[in-house]
Chain A
Amino acid sequence: MSALVELKPRRPRLTAADRLLLAVSIGVPLAGLALFFLYPLATIAARSLSVGGNRLGFGNYLAVLSSPGIAIATWNSLILSLATTAICLVLGFAIAFALQRTRLRGRGLVAVALALPMLAPSLVQGLGILFILGRNGLVHKWTGLPVDAYGFSGLLFSDVLYALPQAVLILEAALRHSDARYFDAAEVMGASRLRQFFDITLPNARFGILSAGFVVFTVTITDFGNAAVIGGNFRVLATEIYAQVSGQMNFAMGAVVGILLLLPTVVAVVIERVATQRQFGGGSESAIPVTPDSLPARDVPLGFLVHGSALTVIAVVATVVFASLVKLWPYNLSMTFKNYNITVAGGYAPLATTLEVSLFAAVAGVVLLFLLAFAMKRLPPKLAKAAYLAAVLPVGVPGMVLGLSYVFAFNLGDNLLGMLYGGSLLIALCNFYHYHSQGFLTMMTGMRTVPPALEEAVSCLGGGLAAVLKDAVLPFIGATAVSVFFFLFMRSMVTLSAVIFLITPNLSVAAVSVMRLDEAGFVSQAAAFSTCIMGTVLGALVVMRLALRRAARGRA
């Protein structure tokens, strides 16, 4: 049939202005990804394979694998991450179940506990545990017992506190999607509540459990902050990589450990993606949500567990705030502000730097992600697929690895990129690309709420791409852009693992200051500095709520 038709594809041409806008929206974000994500990663991979001169080989890998220090650190990391994952899954499932399926009271307390890890650098948990259980902690002072939080148990405790809220969020989402009709059917057929739990609740949440497990495993094995503060002599991969690079200037070793750290994360991310796709493939559109009920024999013990966990998370962080306000922890608990008079390690300059870095990362991030998400729909399918892959890849790269790869890519005096090294701009870019995937996915979700017919209406009324952007897209994506902005800002304020490699004697960031103060024994000042960070982020959160409310009112 088609042989009879003269095929001559006819495509309406774009005006020059539209072509330029489209080229910028796709070109700039992708160039950024290539330069500040793909290129550094390639560099670290090349570095790990380079064995002197221009030769490539696995020499570095063999050296690393045969070095006893690394073997121990790998083993320690695995054990620690597995233990954290197991505890977080059990506790996290109990909490998520209580929140979704029972009429639990005091949900506000749990919500606060769940929000805390977003507000605080990951070393705050470790710091708080030291204040309570350390050699000079409250427990020792009250009981005289020779407690010592340093090492495996303290690190396990702080990692659980850090990762638990993230596990709960994922498990809650998994439980939210269940269909009440399964339970009604089971009830009618005479299944007991316990049977229903094992036959319906658990199997339906299995992908959520899998996904939560991988997230916990990944954040634990790649976490640097808590390990640095409370790990003591218990060496893990994250601290080992830092020691190799910062302490012994052993860059090849660092590169190898960095690549090795990539493995569990990549596997986890891939499996999780496959799993979530299958999970949603099986779900039904018209699921009837399960109504929470109350069952005292189940809910009272569950309530103790949930509130106990939430209180522990809050108490540990609150202890840090409290300790920052007393004269001499734990011996003289009278109140003072003198700990806030920080003069060592650059004083408050790093906080100002962090604020500047975070604002820049958030502003540049929102603009770039917005342009990229906007351009995605207008790209040929193959290019769009490649761009999508590049945009979601960063989630698989731990902060430590990204930071280290920046050292390899930008710590060169002899070219243009080298000029970025040692500046706050590079730290901001590193933070942005570290959290690129989450921001991108949120932006894409927001972009999906823009009605396509509205964009077409603008075109038919004579508007160009710029008018489409302004009148059809922006009104719908405003609220999403605000939340992406604050997500990037808050993450950038508290992150430690990536930036630890990018600071110089003249340029530091807030989370590093806390670590330095703690290392130097100024624990009360470290607590004070942590409190300042949390206060700043909390302030940003309040501003965000107000901005979102205003955006919502603007649309109504």
Chain B
Amino acid sequence: MHLSIRNLYKTFDDFVALDRISLDVGDHDFICLLGPSGCGKTTLLRIIAGLMPFDGGALTMGDTDLAAIPARERGFGIVFQSYSLFPNMTVAENVAYGLKIRKESSDAIQTRVEALLEMIKLPHLAERYPHQLSGGQQQRVAIARALAVDPALLLLDEPLSALDARVRVEMRAEIREVQRRLGIPTIMVTHDQEEALSLADTIVCMNQGRIEQTGTPEDLYLRPRTRFVADFVGQSNLLPTAWVREACPECLDGRPDGKDEAFELCIRPEMVALSRDETAEGRVTDISFLGNVTRLQVAWRGRALAAEISGPCGLRPGDAVAAALSSGAWVRT
């Protein structure tokens, strides 16, 4: 089944929360809605879930119009940032909840719950209560509860944001694996670009209620189309056309036609090549060593450039360096 969103429009009083959003979610897609807080990503997820009405456009699943169908009848699974397990039910009862509502036989429920707990690797915790579990374990249970009813669509609302950094990375891999295995179309909301890049088949980058760009993680990183995406996904040097014309005329290749102010050149820090050269005009102004990479600030032709070198660099602040820019993408401002 294929979820299709066409020109979806949503306002709160006079504030436009979602401005003509169109999006397709295929059978096995893992889609990340990525954007800063307040960009409308959670609103979009809640509308898809049926937890919020919308003001215009269409929302369909296959041939079914979802607009009038309440959340309880959509048959989607949802996982919240706050885990939201029933505090008065055991792990097993939590996972079984949706099946009980669907009045499945208790044998069927038990088999299903056991299989799910096996899948999330917590079969030994079936009789525990949520408050006896760690955050990561609670979130696994919440995912199992959402999956128990064979949802047509899995919705994840910042599911990893409340977890410790290390647990978050582990859970990322688990979510990806489970989603691949079950092939359930999944939409996840996140403001963490690393999470989106590592998990998604398709990233939908949102800003101020609009979609800035939809594409694969590579698309968004290597070929950002707008200044916002270049800035939000990864780090970048954003260089004005006039400066590029002066400082690096060869980089003008591939620039779309348009006024000077309409486009900027996005160069990722690792695409700035530096070499020590006593006669060169570049100057290292700042160095931060981060272990696997070293980040440098370089003053070059009247601008401060961010550069990144893998491993230690052997340079010191004040050293003279030559800089070469390559593989940029022209972005709309």
Spell out A's residues near B (CB within 8 Å).
1-2, 4-15, 18, 451, 453-454, 456-464, 467, 471-472, 475-476, 554-556
Contacts known (A460-B49, A460-B76, A462-B73); A2 close to B9, Cβ less than 8 A = yes
Which residue in chain B gives the minimum CB-CB distance to A467? B101
Of the candidates A7, A461, A462, A463, the one having the most CB atoms from chain B within 10 angstroms of its own CB is A461
> In angstroms, how far is the closest chain A Cβ from the Cβ of B284?
41
Instruction: Find A9's partner among B55, B73, B76 (CB 8 Å cutoff).
Output: B55
Interface check B244, CB cutoff 8 A: no
Interface contact tally, CB-CB below 8 A: 119
Interface check B53, CB cutoff 8 A: yes
Contact assessment for A461 and B145 in the assembled complex, using a CB-CB cutoff below 8 Å: yes
Contacts known (A459-B51, A462-B73); A9 close to B88, Cβ less than 8 A = no
> B-side binding surface: helix, strand, loop or mixed?
mixed
- CB contacts under 8 Å to A, within B72-106, are 72-78, 80-82, 84-89, 97-98, 101-102
Contact assessment for A12 and B75 in the assembled complex, using a CB-CB cutoff below 8 Å: no
Which residue in chain B gives the minimum CB-CB distance to A9? B55
What B residues does A453 contact at CB under 8 A? 80-82, 84
Spell out B's residues near A (CB within 8 Å).
7, 9, 11, 16, 19-20, 49-51, 53-57, 59, 67-78, 80-82, 84-89, 97-98, 101-102, 131, 142, 145-146, 149, 155
What A residues does B68 contact at CB under 8 A? 10-13
Contact assessment for A463 and B16 in the assembled complex, using a CB-CB cutoff below 8 Å: no
Instruction: Find A5's partner among B20, B74, B155 (CB 8 Å cutoff).
Output: B20
Cα of A80 to Cα of B80 in the assembled complex, Å? 58
Contact assessment for A456 and B49 in the assembled complex, using a CB-CB cutoff below 8 Å: yes
> In angstroms, how far is the closest chain A Cβ from the Cβ of B154?
10
Contact assessment for B72 and A462 in the assembled complex, using a CB-CB cutoff below 8 Å: yes
Of the candidates A7, A8, A453, the one having the most CB atoms from chain B within 10 angstroms of its own CB is A453
> In angstroms, how far is the closest chain A Cβ from the Cβ of B189?
13
What A residues does B16 contact at CB under 8 A? 1-2
What A residues does B78 contact at CB under 8 A? 456-457, 460
Which residue in chain A gives the minimum CB-CB distance to B145? A461
Which residue in chain A gives the minimum CB-CB distance to B131? A556
Given contacts A2-B16, A456-B84, A459-B50, 5 further A-B contacts (CB under 8 A): A6-B56, A9-B55, A10-B54, A12-B53, A462-B75
Contact assessment for B50 and A12 in the assembled complex, using a CB-CB cutoff below 8 Å: yes
Which residue in chain B gives the minimum CB-CB distance to A476? B87
Contact assessment for B88 and A554 in the assembled complex, using a CB-CB cutoff below 8 Å: yes
Contact assessment for A460 and B71 in the assembled complex, using a CB-CB cutoff below 8 Å: yes
What B residues does A458 contact at CB under 8 A? 97
What A residues does B86 contact at CB under 8 A? 454, 471-472, 475
18 A–B contacts from the bound complex (CB under 8 Å) = A1-B16, A9-B56, A11-B53, A12-B50, A13-B68, A451-B82, A453-B82, A454-B85, A456-B71, A457-B142, A459-B51, A459-B71, A459-B72, A460-B74, A461-B72, A462-B101, A462-B102, A475-B86
Cα of A555 to Cα of B85 in the assembled complex, Å? 13
What B residues does A13 contact at CB under 8 A? 68-70
Contacts known (A457-B78, A462-B149); A9 close to B54, Cβ less than 8 A = yes
Contact assessment for A555 and B70 in the assembled complex, using a CB-CB cutoff below 8 Å: no
Which residue in chain B gives the minimum CB-CB distance to A465? B72
Which residue in chain A gives the minimum CB-CB distance to B70? A12
Contact assessment for B97 and A471 in the assembled complex, using a CB-CB cutoff below 8 Å: yes
What B residues does A555 contact at CB under 8 A? 87-88
> In angstroms, how far is the closest chain B Cβ from the Cβ of A462?
5
